[in-house]
Amino acid sequence: MIRENGKILIIADDRRFSSGAIKIIEKTTEAGVKLTLEVCPFELGAKNIKASMPDAVILDGDRWNKEKVIEYIRELMPRFFRPLIVCTAVHNSNYGFMNAGAMDVIMKPEQDADLFSTRLCQSLNRLLKKSAQDLHTHMRIQTRRQGNIIAIGGSTGSTQALPVVLEKLTGEDIPPIAAVLHMPEKYTAIYAEQLDKTTRFNVVEARSGLYLKNNMVVIAKGGEHLRIFHDKEGYFVTSEPGVKVSGHCPSVDVLFDSVAYCAKTKAVGVILTGMGSDGASGMLNMHKMGCKTIGQDEASCVVYGMPRAAFENGSVMRQISLDNIAGEIMLELNLINKEGK
């Protein structure tokens, strides 16, 4: 049952899909809950989002082929972030849609319509509640427009590696740092608090609506994907639960992809020690978009998994020992500033 108030926009050209979604929502909305439902075609999606600023958006993920829908989402999300649900009949689509900015991906029913209805209601309840708590109360902190940003990802051993990097970063005006380290849900707040006390940086756990400033480190919250977007105020964070991407939530791939598209040539990506391959695909996108990319070398890794995957797919420009990563970041930032002049 849908228990949260709010405004929902359905972007779909297929009337059967939009009318079916409306029937499910109206049928499952609890008495007394106030919902406003709007429908618009794809060509008017941006216009309607800007005009109504809905609390949640439902998108027909089968309007075009998968790649074209992903590009459509990428065009929407950096301009005006709204929690978005993609409904699709295409299996194994989570990675592309989630990395483009979707908060959830729901499979259209083949036979079990009840399961689709349940998933849609659960997702809407979560996003409508989150919208009321966070998205309408953005913490706005002025920062340099389209400034530099550092994105860091890691897993096994990375909680010990990140403090080494932070300790060795020099200068009084370090660009904001966003980090995804695979940690249990309840540990990330404690970890951020410890780093805040033991380093010179302002270290916080991610929360939606947080605008970034220099000398700030944002740690992804356990169980929520961390994404970075950019508007006229600067870089800001979204932190939302979602399906696992590359086997994880939060996923390094999700963070790296978001930075690749919002920062492009003004970002430095770093992949630290960790098991598996999360982050390799996202770092490849960063590399293609002109970001500077760094990988921890095998000798200094606790587990040479994630850095190896990123190196082998050609996304890592240089592999550096842990003790020298901070220095390499500073060199890359200086190069970015020179290239931008």
- What is the pairing mode between strands 202-205 and 35-40? unpaired
Catalytic residue chosen out of the listed positions 60, 62, 278, 297 = 278
Of 66, 63, 21, 26, residue with least CA distance to 41? 63
Burial 139-157, CB ≥16 within 10 A → b, else e: eeeebeeebbbbbbbbbbb
Determine which one of 18, 62, 182, 277 is catalytic: 182
DSSP 8-state assignment for residue 131 = I
Question: Please, are residues 162 and 198 in contact by the beta-carbon 8 Å criterion?
Answer: no
Name the catalytic one among 18, 93, 117, 155.
Answer: 155
Identity of the amino acid at 323: D
Q: Listing from the earlier edge strand, what are the strands of the sheet with 35-40?
A: 35-40, 6-11, 56-60, 84-88, 104-107
Active site residue 182: yes
DSSP string, 204-267: EE--TTBBP-TTEEEEPPTTSEEEEEEETTEEEEEEE----BTTBSS-HHHHHHHHHHHHGGGE
Which two structure tokens, joined as six digits, stand for 322?
């842990």
Q: Is 60 a catalytic residue?
A: no
Whether 13 is catalytic:
no
- Cα 265 from chain centroid (whole Å): 18
Q: Which helix (H) or strand (E) holds 318?
A: strand 318-320
Q: In Å, how far are 159, 206, 250 from 223, measured between CA atoms?
A: 17, 11, 6
| Alpha-helical segments (H) within the chain | 15-28, 45-52, 66-76, 94-100, 113-130, 158-168, 188-198, 252-263, 280-288, 306-312, 322-340
Asked if 296 and 325 touch (Cβ cutoff 8 Å), the reply is yes
Residues annotated as catalytic are 155, 182, 278
